[in-house]
Copies of this chain bind each other. A is one copy, B any other.
Amino acid sequence: MTSNGSAANGSAPITADDTLPTTMRASVLLGPGKVIIEERPVPSPGPGEVLIQIGSVGICGSDVHYYQHGRIAEYVVREPLVLGHEAGGRIVAVGDGVDASRIGERVALEPGIPCRTCRECKAGRYNLCRDVRFFATPPIDGTFAEYVALAEDFAHAIPNSLSDDAAGLIEPLSVAVWACGKAGVGAGSRVLISGAGPIGIMNVQVARALGATEVTVSDVAPARLEAARSFGATRTLNALTENAVDAGIEVDAYIDCSGAPPAINQGIRALRPAGSVVLVGMGADEISLPVGIIQGRELTITGTFRYANTYPTAIALAASGQIDLDGMVTTRYTLDEAETALSQNNDPTAMKVIVQPGRASTR
């Protein structure tokens, strides 16, 4: 096997050396509350794909939700499923048509591969592709594993100044880059963000990086509000006792990261004429909204579904030091401890919990 040049048509994938194992360990969800470690074959990168040794995976609320309930809306875990989609790692092999010089490259994994041929894909909105294959969304396995194969253009190079953890957190950072973009956040913007979990905090950081000068955050957990301040919020509101309108706050953009109807209604009322609302947090399918205000002030409301074309921006922001990702990590676990990690989510002092598949178990 050559380690130089593209793989010949039909040949086996190229690897950096001949030491790649044939099997690997993966953390597999069998059903609600049931996670095991399985030995599985190391995937072989197909044409246009790279094989990545996973260094770090952030845990997302959706992972926890699948772990607890075995489903999210119409997505049901019917077969064993590998969770995890916030991943960073290193390319160790390439498939046909991929330049072998990428072997060794450290990358952030963008976790959803679209069909590339539908109207949404060709219009640049590949996040809205109905045939997207997204990690850890049934039946597509995710990244709680030692190796993962991925389309090479969705494996984004990162500089060495970024840690593997940071590479994984490019994913939730992308959510915020997308949301702040849709909200039109820019120089001098006044922004209200409801919900100070990881996505809320990412939005605080991105809003500040985009030049927002007033960033108010509301939440019910004091520990989260304190975190929001430490990551750049200029003001915080405890939603149990305060609300933006009564506090005299007027904003240009409101980004909901809570999914809570009362927060959303308050947030909308805090907007200036022609302001923007972006609904990021997932909650009820139907919410009563103040349509009279939306009309009278000509507000614009939209929601986000993942993101598109955000990875280069998110990586640049993190690499430039404008966004602090490592500082958001509160705990790190080995792959063996994935189930423990998935159980940490309700702790408000936990911000980002990480699983590092390559780290030796401490058990």
The chain A residues found within 8 Å of chain B, CB to CB, are 48, 73, 116-128, 151-153, 177, 180-182, 186-188, 206, 209-211, 213-214, 272-274, 279, 282-305, 308-309, 312-317, 319-320, 322
Q: Is the CB of B322 within 8 A of A213?
A: yes
Known A211-B211, A211-B317, A305-B298; contact A117-B120, beta-carbon cutoff 8 A? no
| Choice from B124, B180, B214, B285 contacting A123 with Cβ under 8 Å | B124
Contact pick for A274, options B125, B274, B301, CB 8 Å = B125
A124 to B274, CA, bound (A): 11
Closest to A261 in B: B291
- The reply to whether B317 and A273 form a contact with Cβ atoms under 8 Å apart is no
Of B213, B274, B290, B314, which is within 8 A of A286 by CB? B290
In the assembled complex, how far is the CB of residue A319 from the closest CB belonging to chain B, in whole angstroms? 7
A315 to chain B, nearest CB (A): 8
Q: How far is the CA of A206 from the CA of B322 in the complex (A)?
A: 15
Q: A128-B273, A213-B320 are known contacts. Are A283 and B291 too (CB-CB below 8 A)? A: yes
Contact of A187 among B124, B128, B151, B313 (CB under 8 A): B313
Q: Which residue of B lies closest to A123 (CB)?
A: B124
Q: A118-B153, A285-B293, A297-B305 are in contact. List 7 more A-B contacts (CB 8 A).
A: A116-B121, A128-B274, A187-B209, A188-B316, A210-B210, A213-B320, A286-B290
Contacts of A279 in B (CB 8 A): 291, 294-295
Contact of A298 among B211, B283, B304 (CB under 8 A): B304
The answer to whether B305 touches A302 (Cβ under 8 A) is no
Q: Which residues from B are CB-within-8-Å of A128? A: 273-274, 297-298
Taking A188-B317, A313-B187 as contacts, is the C-beta distance between A286 and B291 under 8 angstroms?
yes
A316: chain B residues within 8 A (beta carbon): 187-188, 213-214
Report whether A186 and B213 are in contact in the complex, using a CB–CB cutoff of 8 Å: no
Q: How far is the CB of A289 from chain B (nearest CB, A)?
A: 5
**Do A295 and B299 touch across chains, with their CB atoms under 8 A apart?**
no
Contacts of A290 in B (CB 8 A): 285-286
B153 touching A122 by the CB < 8 A rule? Answer: yes
* CB–CB A303/B299 < 8 A: yes
Residue contact B302 to A298, C-beta cutoff 8 Å: yes
Query: What separation, in Å, do the CA atoms of A210 and B187 have in the docked complex?
Result: 6
The 4 tightest CB contacts between A and B, nearest first, are A124-B124, A295-B303, A188-B313, A188-B316
- Which residues of chain B are near A297, meaning CB under 8 Å? 128, 305
A256 to chain B, nearest CB (A): 10
Residue of B nearest to A73 (CB): B292
Q: Which of B119, B188, B211, B301 contacts A301 (CB 8 A)?
A: B301
- Closest Cβ of chain B to A263, distance in Å, is 13
Residue in A214, A301, A312 whose Cβ sees the most chain B Cβ within 10 Å: A301
Most interface-central of A126, A211, A296, A312 (chain B CB within 10 A): A211
Closest B residue to A180 by CB, please name it: B187
Q: How far is the CB of A181 from chain B (nearest CB, A)?
A: 7
> Smallest Cβ distance from A338 to chain B, in angstroms?
28
- Given A186-B210, A187-B177: A303 in contact with B294 (beta carbons within 8 A): yes
CB closest residue in chain B, given A294: B303
